[in-house]
Amino acid sequence: MHSALALIVTLLAQASIYLMLYAPFVAGVQIILYAGGIMVLFLFVIMLVSIERSQRERQFNKQWVVGMVAATALGGLFIAVYTKGRGIFPEHALPAVEAQNTQNVGTLLYGQYMFAFEIASLLLLVAIIGAVVMAKKRI
């Protein structure tokens, strides 16, 4: 449960990164889909697994050393970029393009990438039908 909550915070942080990259639409969709929708389903499953059993069983993923190393590396990278990264980034702030972001995403999705978009939606439809077929005993 705590890990799931940490994941929610991570997803929200990711949404704010999108915001800082002048992609407000993606940020909003990130919040509404991942943090608001998918994580609720995650938590549902976690709630339905009984807590006593999960505490009695030995946790098999004792990899906190690796986790610590990865976290330190990432933190070090952030600090390095923050202190010495002046050369990497452009000198001046980019012009804000956010005002038209949603419209641009829309025209791209339904114009240039129409075919890919439709294929992706077909894939999702197949997944939904598969889930219904597996869940229902008698249709």
Binding site for another protein (CB under 8 A): 1-2, 5, 8, 24-25, 27-29, 31-32, 35-37, 39-40, 43-44, 46-48, 51, 98-99, 101-103
Least distance to another protein, CB of residue 1, Å:
6
Name residue, tokens 């452009």: 90
- Is the Cβ of residue 40 or residue 70 nearer to another protein in the bound state? 40
List the one residue out of 34, 20, 25, 21 whose CA is nearest residue 105.
25
User: What are the DSSP calls for 93-122, one per residue?
Assistant: PPPP-GGGHHHHHHHIIIIITHHHHHHHHH
Environment class of 27 (CB within 10 Å of its CB; exposed 0-12, middle 13-18, buried 19+):
buried
Coil, helix or strand at residue 17: helix
- Is the Cβ of residue 14 or residue 28 nearer to another protein in the bound state? 28
Contact 101, 22 (CB under 8 A): yes
- Is the Cβ of residue 41 or residue 133 nearer to another protein in the bound state? 41
Least distance to another protein, CB of residue 98, Å:
5
Least distance to another protein, CB of residue 4, Å:
9
Least distance to another protein, CB of residue 39, Å:
6
- Is the Cβ of residue 14 or residue 46 nearer to another protein in the bound state? 46
Separation between Cα atoms, residue 22 and residue 26, nearest integer Å: 9
